[in-house]
Copies of this chain bind each other. A is one copy, B any other.
Amino acid sequence: MESKAPKITDVARLAGVSTATVSRALSKPETVAESTRNTVLAAAEKTGYRVNLSARNLRRQRTGAIVVLVPNIGNPFFSEILAGIETALSEADINMLVVDTRQAHMKPQLVLEYLHATRADGIIALDGSLPDAILSVASSGSGAPPIIFACEWTPKGEFSSVRANNTRGGALAISHLAGLGHRTIGMITGPDDNVLTHDRSRGALKALAAESLVFNPLHRFSGDFSLDAGARAAQAWLQLDQRPSAVFCQSDQMAFGFISELALNDVSVPDDVSVVGFDDIAIAKRFIPALTTLRQPRKKIGMSAARMLINHIQTNTSPAVETTILEVELIVRGSTKAFAG
């Protein structure tokens, strides 16, 4: 029955405007031009669209805000995703409140209080390890605020998510180095229990196999994505009898630490060893040498998650679980060159 009732999308199509405009024309008529308002009202009448009054009233009590849950607000990793969310929300006239969930891990009740207090229309989680108490609110069916995960750790269950294709990123790094003639390729990984480490390593190992290259376990340096981990890997690399001629670093930070520590030991990148990073943070193009790396679509991840959430809010249905996987891009710069033999 519900599926046959005219939807806001039908009104938008007939009126030739966005669903956001329909929503505004009906809920805050003073914010749209009179001609638009009239077109929308005519279309609503023609389609037989009825604003769900109880939902509308509920919505009217809300603040037009969504809550973003971030695992660690001190980590600049999340800044660009937040900027993307903010950009997309601004377009739809929705605002955001950001909550650091490090504290919330201890007190899920608190996050629930915030959701309640701010009458949030929805949630975007950059933190895949949310406590069940929060997840159960978000999945409690009609009336519950929709939740979108913009991270790799989407918890088991029926949640929509947006993430980057890390597996493919790992494969692209290796194919690039193999294409340059490198036959022994090392790898600096993230923490062992990290899903990013897992996906990037899986893609890399698959690509190595496809190139018929053997991966020497001595050429795997375990890190934690930090500058210091890269520097430690450089020390380990320096002590090897047989050094790989290229190294895939699973983060730009580790690549910088690696290159910098090698430079202090008079080993030059890319002349002595080629290096690929992962992330393409801003400084990558200005490092010396400029870093070949995989560009993560962070801002796009934020924007996609926000648009998915807006769609869930505006259609006001319980939509099917959606998963958007965004591609990473190989950016070739000065830190890699052809194997010299």
In the assembled complex, A150 has its CB within 8 A of some CB on chain B: no
Contact A79 B82 (CB under 8 A): no
Neighbour of A82 across the interface among B73, B80, B119, CB < 8 A:
B73
Q: Which of under 10, 10 to 19, 20 to 34, or 35 or more describes the interface residues of A? A: 35 or more
Q: Residues of B contacting A96 with CB < 8 Å?
A: 100
Contact A75 B86 (CB under 8 A): no
Neighbour of A227 across the interface among B90, B95, B282, CB < 8 A:
B282
Contact B75 A79 (CB under 8 A): yes
> Can you report 20 A-B residue pairs in the complex whose CB atoms are below 8 A from each other?
A63-B113, A63-B114, A65-B110, A73-B83, A74-B80, A74-B82, A82-B100, A86-B100, A86-B103, A96-B100, A97-B114, A98-B100, A118-B118, A227-B286, A253-B282, A256-B283, A259-B288, A260-B286, A260-B290, A283-B283
Q: Residues of B contacting A259 with CB < 8 Å?
A: 288
Contact A95 B110 (CB under 8 A): yes
- Mask of A253-269 contacts with B, CB within 8 angstroms, 1/0: 10011011001000000
Neighbour of A97 across the interface among B80, B98, B282, B283, CB < 8 A:
B98
A303 to chain B, nearest CB (A): 12
A150 to chain B, nearest CB (A): 14
Contacting residues of chain A (51-74) with chain B, CB-CB under 8 angstroms:
63, 65, 72-74
Query: Assembly of this chain: how many copies?
Result: 2
User: In the complex, A114→B67 CA distance in Å?
Assistant: 12
User: In the complex, A72→B73 CA distance in Å?
Assistant: 13
Contact B113 A98 (CB under 8 A): no
User: In the complex, A206→B54 CA distance in Å?
Assistant: 66
In the assembled complex, A162 has its CB within 8 A of some CB on chain B: no
Instruction: Point out residues on A near B: beta carbons under 8 Å.
Output: 63, 65, 72-76, 79-80, 82-84, 86, 90, 95-100, 102-103, 107, 110, 113-114, 117-119, 227, 231, 253, 256-257, 259-260, 263, 282-283, 285-288, 290
User: In the complex, A257→B286 CA distance in Å?
Assistant: 6
Q: Residues of B contacting A110 with CB < 8 Å?
A: 63, 65, 95
Neighbour of A73 across the interface among B98, B227, B287, CB < 8 A:
B98
Contact A97 B95 (CB under 8 A): no
A256-B283, A263-B288 known; 8 new pairs, CB 8 Å cut-off, are A76-B76, A86-B100, A96-B100, A117-B117, A118-B118, A227-B286, A257-B286, A283-B283
Neighbour of A83 across the interface among B74, B99, B118, B256, CB < 8 A:
B74
Q: Residues of B contacting A103 with CB < 8 Å?
A: 86, 90, 95
A317 to chain B, nearest CB (A): 26
User: In the complex, A282→B256 CA distance in Å?
Assistant: 11
From A227, which residue of chain B is reached at the shortest CB distance?
B286
A90, A103, A227, most chain B CB atoms within 10 A: A103
Contact B86 A73 (CB under 8 A): yes
From A256, which residue of chain B is reached at the shortest CB distance?
B286
Q: Residues of B contacting A63 with CB < 8 Å?
A: 110, 113-114, 117
A287 to chain B, nearest CB (A): 7
Q: Residues of B contacting A100 with CB < 8 Å?
A: 82, 86, 96, 98
